[in-house]
Chains A and B, each alone.
Chain A
Amino acid sequence: MSIIRKSNKTGFSLAEFMITLGLLMVLTASLFGTLTLSMRYYRQSNYSTDLQKAVRDSVEYMTDEIRQAVPDEDPGMLGNNPTGYKMITPAVSSNGIMYPNMNDKDTDYVMFTKPDYDYFDPGSSTWEPFDPRNYKRIRYYVKDINKLIREVTTFKADGTVKDKTSDELAVVQDGTITLECTMFTPGSTPSYCIQVTVVRDDKSYSLKSGCLVPGSAY
């Protein structure tokens, strides 16, 4: 008895092969259907997570940085134009946040000054508080409807702009992002509400966070 004969005897018949192939195709099709559906849900959920993360991170970065705000004490008394809250008309309290303020309590951007620690050193006897170089001006705003931008401006001693840089804090592809800032004065300490909303397709996520500026109280 030859090997070839034996092999032929125990191999697939065409019918068996067709049935197996058919079954495999059905199984694969159903598996792929399920997988495709799962992958779509996974992508959607991943995308939703990314949107939520973008909202959460944006609000957190902003509120963390707003807490570092200090009044720009440069009142323009050194012969330069004032660079901080003193440039706001009518005058507002020097609580660190420039916008929103008592004049504009609801804004679509937030602007404040924070120390530039290369110069800001109140403990030193030689520190000059009115030097505009002590402060950086930070501005968060929305550009091109889908980008949240953080802009940093530094100043020269004469109050003119030394440098201005912008970074994209969040970008929503094919969607929109909005920023709403509100000032409250419930007591003698102003507080701020920051709200970021992102929208894409039929999904919309929004997060609000309140914050105070340490040292802003009268």
Chain B
Amino acid sequence: MKALNQNNDKNWVQRLFENRGAALLLTLLCLTFLSVIAMGLAGMSISQSRISLNHFSGIQAYYVAEAGVNRARAELTRNVKWIPTDDFTGTISIEEGTGTYTLKVTPGSSNNSSTYKIWTVESTGTLGGYKRTITAILESESLSRYVMVIDSNPYLWGKSQTPNKYSGPLHTNGYFRFYGKPEFDSPLTSSNQNDSCYNSSKQQYVQGTTTTDDPSMFYRYIYNYTQDQPVGASGTNNFYFNGGQPTKPFPDSVDEQKNNATQVIEGDAVITMLSSGNMEIICDAGNFVYPCDDTTIFVTGNAEVEGDVKGSATIVSKGSIFITDNIVYADKSTDSLALIAEDYVVLKTDPNDVRDIEIDAAISALNESFYVDKYYSGQARGELKLFGSLMQKKQGSTGIFDFSTGKLVRGYSQNFVLDPKFLARPPRNMPVSGKIRVKSWKDAGAFQ
């Protein structure tokens, strides 16, 4: 009691020098120190967690935006004139919630006057407050991307059977039939439509006693897989063959080309390409001259074409097109010519006129084939050089070969080379498959 009284008697200075508060002070100091460390760690952890969440949400928003681009591709495949409204939004549900995308589609300046079209699609994906924008440039899939594209089941022979050469990718919607070991310097693909050996649901090929799921064997042989197979040409390393690939649908009419034509010529016409950069047209209605300046001439009958091309032009025939002599570009780097026939494209030269022929053009025979008139008669005429691309429904013949010697007997051997210009810019009004390709892809969240 006395001590208590004594304590109560102490003033604040006395109490300050007391030693009884040391434990509390120490505890508080330790607690403060540990709290600071804990708070620091928690802060870093929260920060990392937020970074991780942002990253995750950014990726999700990217895929929502990609869904928007795919939506635009699907809509444009159905309707090339599709343009979304200003407030157009689409939604996509994923585990973490519902993402929305907004789309803006800008058609290319030539879309209304060409079968080949370009669109700029801007898709902004949003999910949980995060946004990501992809700007994709889409294009119609032009069939002039191939040195040869066929809608049936072509035969291709080896070098020891024929001297035919192809430089550039080949595709058939049917199946290839290889005899010997034909050589290629570019990819070959087939869709194996209506191929009784191909089971599309199982992705399997059954031929003879062999059942395979290897797409490089989805072709028909004459003897067996060892003797008959496509191979890469020597000095090249760009060849592969894959069957079971998507089809490249063929249009069967030239109606769209007619709608886009610069001039429609009624009846038959004889067209001479002039080195001056013009073309002269002789038809029932008279003689005309047009400049080769992205010009499309539509002939309701048959057309006969020859000459030197300067500039760019497209000649379309509701019937067939006959080529009577060389057709050569003045400048291979800039000039282009497309010859599009609803039926045949025919090289019509004298069976006994022995010389090489050069055709610089993108040739299309929508319902029939490209062939040499009377290829089965006369002499071995020489080599047919095609610098461009060939699209034909069925495989046409250009000559006859002695398979035992590999020599040309009649007509022309083929030396077809893809014009690389057509990869970047197909000729105006060249037939398209109806599918939409991505030409370029810009992700606002990536390096620019």
Chain A residues in contact with chain B, CB under 8 A?
Answer: 3, 6-7, 10-12, 16, 20, 24, 31, 49, 61, 64-65, 67-68, 70-71, 73, 75, 77-79, 86, 90-94, 102-103, 114-115, 117, 120, 122-125, 129-130, 138, 150, 185, 187-188, 214-215, 217-218
Contacts and interface: CB of A to CB of B under 8 A. Distances in A.
A70 B333 contact: no
B236 A90 contact: yes
Given A70-B439, A122-B439, A10 B19 contact: yes
Contacts of A6: 10, 14
Contacts of B22: 20
B242 A187 contact: yes
A215 B141 CA distance: 10
A215 B438 contact: yes
Given A129-B424, A185-B240, A77 B333 contact: yes
B211 to A, nearest CB: 20
A67 B444 CA distance: 12
Given A93-B187, A123-B107, A218-B187, A67 B441 contact: yes
Q: Which of A94, A185, A214 has the largest count of B CB atoms less than 10 A from its CB?
A: A214
A91 B120 contact: no
B355 interface: no
Contacts of A77: 332-334, 420-421
Given A77-B332, A77-B420, A122-B439, 15 more contacts: A6-B10, A6-B14, A10-B18, A10-B19, A11-B17, A65-B447, A71-B423, A77-B333, A114-B440, A115-B440, A122-B139, A130-B421, A187-B242, A214-B441, A218-B189
Interface in B393-448: 420-421, 423-425, 437-443, 445-448
A95 to B, nearest CB: 10
A129 B440 CA distance: 13
B186 A122 contact: no
A64 B425 contact: no
20 contacts: A3-B13, A6-B14, A11-B19, A12-B19, A64-B446, A67-B443, A68-B446, A73-B424, A75-B421, A77-B332, A77-B333, A122-B108, A123-B106, A123-B108, A124-B108, A125-B109, A125-B110, A129-B425, A188-B242, A214-B136
Contacts of A214: 136, 438, 441
B177 to A, nearest CB: 20
Q: Which of A123, A138, A217 has the largest count of B CB atoms less than 10 A from its CB?
A: A123
A117 B135 CA distance: 11
Among all A-B residue pairs, the 5 with the closest Cβ atoms: A77-B333, A129-B424, A215-B438, A123-B108, A64-B446
A20 B421 CA distance: 90
A64 B445 contact: yes
Nearest to A152: B447
B335 to A, nearest CB: 11
Nearest to A16: B19
A29 to B, nearest CB: 14
A188 B189 contact: yes
Contacts of B334: 77
B137 interface: yes
Contact of B119 (A24, A71, A123): A123
Interface string B1-42: 000000000100110011100100010001000000000000
Interface string B130-170: 00000011010000011000000000000000000000010
A92 B238 contact: yes
B441 A130 contact: no
Contacts of B245: 187-188
B237 A187 contact: no
B235 interface: yes
Contacts of A217: 437
A138 B13 CA distance: 76
B382 interface: no
A137 to B, nearest CB: 13
Contact of B423 (A3, A68, A94, A187): A94
Contacts of B14: 3, 6-7
Contacts of A11: 17, 19
B383 interface: no
Contacts of B13: 3
A124 B236 contact: no
A215 B242 contact: no
Given A6-B14, A67-B446, A124 B423 contact: no
Contacts of B441: 67-68, 70, 214-215
B185 interface: yes
B242 A61 contact: no
B215 interface: yes
Contacts of B18: 10
A79 B110 CA distance: 28
Contacts of B106: 123
A91 B446 contact: no
B171 interface: yes
Interface in B211-233: 215
Contacts of A10: 17-19
A75 B333 CA distance: 9
Contact of B333 (A78, A91, A102): A78
A122 B235 contact: no
Nearest to A104: B237
Contacts of A103: 237
A217 B246 CA distance: 10
B24 to A, nearest CB: 14
